[in-house]
Structure 1
Amino acid sequence: MQIDPFEIAITDRELDDLRRRLRATRWAPATPAPAWQQGADPGWLGELAAYWADQFDWREVERRLNQLPQFLADVNGQTVHFVHRRGAGNVPGFKPYPLVITHGWPGSFCEFRALLDELCDPAACGADPADAFDVVTPSLPGFTFSPAPAQAGMSAFQVADLWAALMRGLGYRRFGAQGGDLGAGVSIALAARHPHAVDGVHLNFLPSSYEPAIDAARQPLTPAEHDYLREKNDWAALEGGYAHLHSTKPLTVAAALNDSPLGLAAWIGEKFRAWSDCGGEIERVFTKDELLTNISLYWFTQCIGPAMQMYWENRLQPMRFAAGQRIDTPVGFARFPHEINHPPRSWLERTFNVVQWSEMAQGGHFAALEQPALLAAEIRRFFRPLRANVQ
């Protein structure tokens, strides 16, 4: 497998074009509605656009991102961009444990920077140096610097095959997987398709397409499961319009968002507010620079369309399990209070071997960015008994 170092290098021409487009925004007429009730608030968008055009320092962001050890690999004909940060320290009898972490939408590899510090150099964060990880954080095909697949069919299951090959190519015979959002689906698929390589899976989200086989006579739904399914359906009706568009008409939405940086910021920024533990004040949790780093990566790589394509593919290959089908790989789950869904443990245990379950005190959908120390502690605790497989 060919692996080459990679650095981000956005041209001055691309930066100038972005600023020109922002300054020439044709603003949608305001509607008589409370802020955020009908989507992205125009007042907040105006402030963000002005900051993006006149104050946001992409060159400094680019410099900091390029401090991450980034690479491009040819994995079975698919180019994959990834960060590969090795664990610090040399503890006798312990090696850093290999872990692949997968992002989702509307995130990207940049949301893991603080989490990498916690996992790769735990001693520097006040944790046990024996808990160090070698962390690989690939960009999903079609996201940021991983080009879109040349052929259709790249669902979470096919991405899992790529990740397994990537980890083998990096010299890891056995490893763990972690993920939220789309990355949770990829991590589950890794355990399902590559059980002899994956020691354990830690999740902070359950894919909405996950369906265990239900034998109502032998194991009827519990009251908590009934409540969860009702809440999930209610959420999809009021908040899931974006996913329905992504999974049914991605090219139509992409035509607009790929041409308008303000539209892209509205589409992504609204989700960071709605899905995070911010109490309705988005910048209580995320700075403008953090938001715009991620949005700019989507803009400069023109990846919004290819990113949405994965919703289409996952709709065609949902995460459904047949009667009697189980995944024996150990699973850990961190349930954050402001996540977009809250499955009960029993719902996962219908398919998965759940060995660790944690009710988190705070945090939402973007756990690695919102609460990196809390998430890292859960990941360390989950994989600690599995480290013997790499010693």
Structure 2
Amino acid sequence: MQPFKINVPQPVLDDLHYRLAHTRWLDQLEDAYWDYGTNCEYLQQLAAYWQNSYDWRTQEAKLNEFAQFTADIDELGLHFIHIEGKGPNPVPLMLVHGWPDSFFRMVKLIPLLTDPAAHGGRAEDAFTVIVPDLPGYGFSERPTEKGYDPKRMADVLAKLMTKTLGYKKYVAHGGDWGSSIVEQLALNHADNLLGIHLTDVPASHAKTADKLPDLSMAEKAFVVKNKAWQEKEAGYQKIQGTKPETLAYGLNDSPVGLLGWIIEKFHAWSDHDGNIEHTFTKDDLLTNVMIYWVTQTIGSSVRLYYEAMHSPALAAPTHTKVPTGFAIFPEDITPAPREFAERFFNVQRWTEMPRGGHFAALEEPGLLVADLREFVWPLREETR
């Protein structure tokens, strides 16, 4: 375990600005809006800001305010944030991101969780927070062998928590792929978990939902809505799950290509009134994309879809007894009803939020933190 600071070499930034200045732009249909994909007019505005106004060094310095480390786990260098909680009995809490993001997804949560008394909460609600970059994401090393599916990712994170950091009991939270990985933690490393907290039911369950017996009316509506979403929005899953590297050559070589691919997901999956910047700042959007660009991890990140599609662990029926809390945000990707979640999880808390979307930790950090505090409070007895 070694201390880590982000320090992107200047030639990488110089190369980025050269590529942005020499972008070959597409034509745009009239009134296309976002119907055909990322809106060209908005993408040009964001790319111009990226080239002329965005300051990576400022963002880099902000990220380096968090204590960061790397550790070798299964011969793979894993990058993570580790911040001690300020309270009488802080509970270890691991936050697990998904795609298309990284540890950056969770940074707004960290001060609220680690120092609640400074943010309107109680000191006894403090957490010690661990935020890893998944293998192949962000500043973690890229796997060089096949098989890094959600189960194997969970095994790596379990070793981080128990062997590297020495926690016997902890809580794990996740969204997107983080939900699948945290579920695998609960299925395979339950003895070390106080509980798990998720913002969605892992997508692998939705794929076979229509084959389940005795579906409720709410579950039947969920199946219909999810199928419609798959038809309209899930093309990226098919590409990334079958031929991820064919796509990745272009995204790894073109900053605007990468920006367009990722920003479309933030626009489609978040809660806003048609203007994405009512939910995210330009700096938030670009810092997330920059982490992919400067680490060249778009290819290794999208391989997770291929690995998951070929994973026997995700094909097997499951149910975990680990206490589970759900925070469901209305503009997330086809939110599932509680009775569907109860088929797979020991649901102890179910909260339907008034607003927010898929990137809840960035969109509504206050709502998410409040729900985490309430869910974990009765579990803290095991750590006293």
| TM-score when normalising by structure 1 | 0.95
Q: Does 1:17 align with 2:10?
A: no
Identity of aligned residues (%): 43
AA matched with 1:262:
V
Pick aligned residue for 1:163 from 147, 151, 157: 157
Correspondence 1:357 to 2:350: yes
Distance change (3 Å), C-alpha of 1:194 and 1:212: farther
> 1:171-182 residue pairs with structure 2 within 5 A?
171-182=166-177
- Give the whole-Å Cα distance in 1 for the aligned partners of 2:93 and 2:215: 34
2:178 aligned to which of 171, 178, 183:
183
1:267 aligns with 2:261: yes
Q: In 1, are the aligned partners of 2:209 and 2:223 still within 8 Å (CA)?
A: no
Query: Which has more helix, going by share of residues?
Result: 2
Cross-structure match for 2:368: 375
CA offsets 1:287-336 (integer angstroms, 9 cap, x no match): 101100010110010100000000111111163443xx521101111110
1: distance between equivalents of 2:206 and 2:267?
28
- Matched-pair contact (CA < 8 Å) for 1:274–1:280: no
2:238 corresponds to which of 232, 235, 244: 244
Distance verdict in 2 for CA 1:257–1:213, change over 3 Å? closer
1:339 matches 2:339: no
Distance 2:262 2:206 in 1: 27
Tell me what 2:28 maps to: 30
CA contact (8 A) 1:213 1:321 kept: no
Which of these residues, 106, 121, 126, is aligned with residue 132 of structure 1?
Answer: 126
Given the two structures, how large is their TM-score scaled by the length of structure 2?
0.96
2:359 is aligned to 366
The 3 A distance-change label for structure 1 pair 237 and 216 is closer
Distance 1:72 1:14, change over 3 A: same
Q: Structure 2: 5+ residue runs without aligned partners? A: none
Cα shift at 1:183? 0.4
Matched, 1:220 2:208: no
Check if 1:230 corresponds to 2:228.
Answer: no
Q: What SS is found at the alignment partner of 1:357?
A: strand
Aligned-partner Cα distance in 2 for 1:37–1:273: 11
Give the equivalent residue in structure 1 for 2:277. Answer: 283
Mapped to 1, the partners of 2:50 and 2:274 lie a distance apart of: 21
Give distance in 2, aligned partners of 1:74 and 1:124.
34
Cα distance, 1:215–1:29 mapped onto 2, change above 3 Å: closer
Is contact 1:201-1:331 (8 Å) kept? yes
Q: Per-residue deviation at 1:279? A: 1.8
1:215 Cα deviation from its structure 2 partner: 11
**3-state SS of 1:27 partner:** coil
Separation of aligned partners in 1, 2:208 and 2:9: 51
1:313 alignment partner, one of 307, 313, 331? 307
- Residue by residue, what CA displacement relative to the aligned partner does 1:109-154 show, whole Å, maximum 9, x if unpaired? 1121210111111111111110100111100110011111121101
Quick one: which amino acid aligns to residue 157 of structure 1? K
For the pair 1:4 / 2:5, whether they are aligned, the reply is no
Q: Distance in 1 between matches of 2:123 and 2:379?
A: 16
Superposition pairs of residues 288-307 of structure 1, within 5 angstroms: 288-307=282-301
Aligned-residue Cα RMSD (Å) equals 1.6
